[in-house]
Amino acid sequence: MARMTERLTAAFRYAAQLHATQLRKGTPVPYIAHLMAVAAIVLEHGGRENQVIAALLHDAIEDHPRNGATRQEIREQFGPEVLAMVEDCTDADTHPKPPWQDRKERYIARLPGTSREAKLVSLADKVHNARTILNDFIQVGDELWDRFMGAKDGTLWYYRTLADVYTREYPGPLAEELESVVSELERVARGS
């Protein structure tokens, strides 16, 4: 279990600086709230310090590729193990990003080959995203799907596929939670 250290504090500061101007899709919620939630989930599920740091930085490369500068900064400040986990959580490192469907299919295909440490970080990210999507759907209904490149069907496909992969590749309470949240999202989104 990770303790609050100077490295964790530095990672939080770095993440806050990188994502300072970002909001969660279609909301007034500062993006750092998502990163903090993912880090909390990792902590709650026994994550080590490097995993918690990777949770705080899991979107750094995807959102801020800056010609490799972000990768180099992460390697220099937090080490190669953190960088490897962040890379495993990254579905694109170019702007503009490749087409949504291709990106998601490639991410899903490489998940089984990622480290167990990275799987916890990635799963925590997907659990928080699924929780948020479900809660937002309950509040705003079908207009929610306009926020997502995959729209309703693509988003439901992606999270169902992720739930199935994690159930197989990283079984346990967190994968069970993702399965449960995705099942509820499918139920309410399909009106059944």
Per-residue CA distances from 89 to 43, 49, 83, 95, 152 (Å): 17, 17, 10, 17, 23
Catalytic residue among 6, 49, 59, 63: 63
Q: How far apart are CA 142 and CA 112, in angstroms?
A: 32
Judge whether 23 lies within some domain. Answer: yes
Asked about 63 being catalytic, the answer comes back as yes
For position 94, what pLDDT does the model report? 85
Judge whether 169 lies within some domain. Answer: yes
Judge whether 11 lies within some domain. Answer: yes
Asked about 62 being catalytic, the answer comes back as yes
Judge whether 1 lies within some domain. Answer: no
Judge whether 79 lies within some domain. Answer: yes
Judge whether 47 lies within some domain. Answer: yes
Judge whether 40 lies within some domain. Answer: yes
Catalytic residue among 62, 91, 125, 136: 62
Kindly report the CATH number assigned to the domain that includes residue 150.
1.10.3210.10
Q: Report whether pLDDT(135) > 70.
A: yes
Q: How far apart are CA 139 and CA 136, in angstroms?
A: 5
Judge whether 57 lies within some domain. Answer: yes
Domain count for the chain: 1
Q: Six-digit token pair at 26? A: 């279609």
Mean pLDDT score of the chain = 94
pLDDT in tens, 155-180: 999 999 999 999 999 999 999 999 99
pLDDT in tens, 53-80: 999 999 999 988 676 789 999 999 999 9
* Domain region containing 43: 6-189
- For 1-16, letters b (16+ CB in 10 Å) and e give ebeeeebbeebbebbe
